[in-house]
Amino acid sequence: MTHHKEEIIRVRFAPSPTGHLHIGGARTALYNFLYARHAGGQFILRIEDTDVERSEQRFVDAIIHDLQWLGISWDEGPVFQSDRLDIYREYVEKLLEQGRAYRCYCTPEELERKRKKAVAEGKRPGYDGTCRNRKLPGEGPFTVRLKTPDTGSVSFTDVLRGEVVWQCQEIEDFIIMRSNGIPTYNFTAVIDDALMGITHVIRGDDHIANTPRQLLIYRALQFEPPVFAHIPLIVGPDRAPLSKRHGAVAVSAFREMGFLAEAMVNYIARLGWGYGDQEIFSMEELIELFDVKDVNRSPATFDIEKLRWMNSHYIQQKRPGELAGLLKPFMDKRGLPCPSGDSKFLMLVRELQPRAKTLDEMAEGAAFFFRAPEFYDDRGLRKFCGKEGRQYLRMIRNELAQLSSSASRDEIQKVFEKVMETTGAKMIKLAQPVRLALTGKTVSPGIFEIIEILGVEEAVKRIDLLLQYIKENEIS
């Protein structure tokens, strides 16, 4: 993006606290943040809470928490629009005085009737200008409308879309202040962007239809408009705009599923932006490399598998100690402890690191450390715990029982080698029934490792439990 050398870049993220922060909003916030940090500029957080019915403090808190979790920090704010109503009203007054806006006393019922009539006659259903030409003051509640030009055009050069032009005659005299005295989004956004010295507005494509209206407000107030960059929306695999129908969309939902903040940031950054074929970016690299002009012009497709892949990358990068700390809520959820100072537990975390794609999967994989299986994988039982399998189980059990409780991985391995030698069985035939006994599952970290982690005594106990279970359930 080009800008004057002496100009300090000022950007903002302006969420409405009417819901949780979604992937799309997080991406808008991230791109603004990266753009500001890259340019040594400033990033402002503005809460657009003028819709008193739908705005809630808990969403403000949640949005702030999610941004902090992602590592997106701001230099000013949060600024609340609800604290600035006097400022907006002052500008509404000014426009009224200058004759650039007018009071409209048309009732919602009247407007609706006119709209229907226009549609029925095949006309454009915009406001017909009744109150624009009113000579005498009206009565009752009023809205304030901007007097938009009847001729000419309004245009801007979008960083991503290029030249965008509208004919003014297509833009009705729209409402800038509702009858309850609260100004509309288009108005508050312009006043704030102008007074806060915002140089670049980077926001979702869904706002592009608002931009000509906002430009007319800039024009009426003789403010200089910022540079606009409208970023293409995010779609699901079916190309429809990403929504709850596609599964999780809230940042908090991904956190609860066990995605790491680093993976989310990396994934969201790549969602619509790239740098060659590089996939993995740290926040520092993103700050160094990101430029909004490089954002893709076409919609980005959300792909959960790719996010899972990135998450597994970041899980593998972490030190087991840090990972153990992050696992806490996921162990809590299962009613399990999370002893991040326990060397055996850390050993287990290290073993699970290359396998788990989320923290939740990791916690699931770690559960056996704390309790003997309550269920055994059914197919595994039938496949590996037949007559031969039980024979192997008994042999390994008896060999293990002779080891000291602090037996090393090597000694454990020797047990399996010995049984392989005497029976001629392949390793998998021995390992699978033991794995089932210890974890209830047919997939887990290496069998020697898990015996070492659990301890030989516990392993023997669990093999006995499985043999008992097989006997009671008459599995053949």
| Cα angle value 251/331/362 (rounded, 5°) | 70
Closest separation in Å from C-beta 160 to ligand GLU: 15
CA separation, residue 18 to residues 21, 55, 211, 435 (Å): 9, 5, 22, 49
Query: Which secondary structure element, helix H or strand E, spans residue 228, and what is its range?
Result: strand 227-231
Paired with 12 in beta bridges are 44
In degrees and rounded to multiples of 5, residue 414 shows phi and psi of: -60, -35
Contacts of 74 (CB under 8 A, 6+ apart): 13, 33, 43, 44, 45, 67
Report d(CA 183, CA 214) in Å as an integer: 13
Rounded to whole angstroms, the Cα distance separating 356 from 170 reads 55
The residue annotated as part of the active site, out of 244, 333, 344, 418, is 244
| Six-digit token string for 8 | 């300090």
Nearer to ligand GLU, 32 or 148 (CB): 32
Residue 444 Cβ vs ligand GLU, minimum distance, rounded to whole Å? 45
The interaxial angle of helices 343-352 and 447-454, nearest 10 deg, is 160
> Which chain residues interact with ligand GLU by CB under 6 A?
14-16, 48, 189, 203, 207
Q: Which is nearer to ligand GLU, 28 or 353 (CB)?
A: 28
| 54 versus 382: smaller Cβ distance to ligand GLU | 54
Of 295, 159, 304, 308, nearest to 233 (Cα)? 295
244 is catalytic: yes
| Cβ closest to ligand GLU, residue 28 vs residue 340 | 28
Among residues 160 and 189, whose Cβ is nearest to ligand GLU? 189
Long-range CB contacts (within 8 A, 24+) of 27-31: 27/231, 27/234, 27/268, 27/269, 27/271, 27/272, 28/202, 28/203, 28/204, 28/231, 29/67, 29/70, 29/72, 30/70, 30/72, 30/265, 30/268, 30/269, 31/202, 31/231, 31/273, 31/290, 31/292, 31/295
Sheet with 76-80, edge to edge strand ranges: 10-13, 42-47, 76-80
Q: Closer to ligand GLU at the Cβ: 205 or 458?
A: 205
Query: In the complex with ligand GLU, which residue's Cβ is closer, 16 or 82?
Result: 16
Structure tokens at 223: 């403010």
Query: Which positions are catalytic?
Result: 244
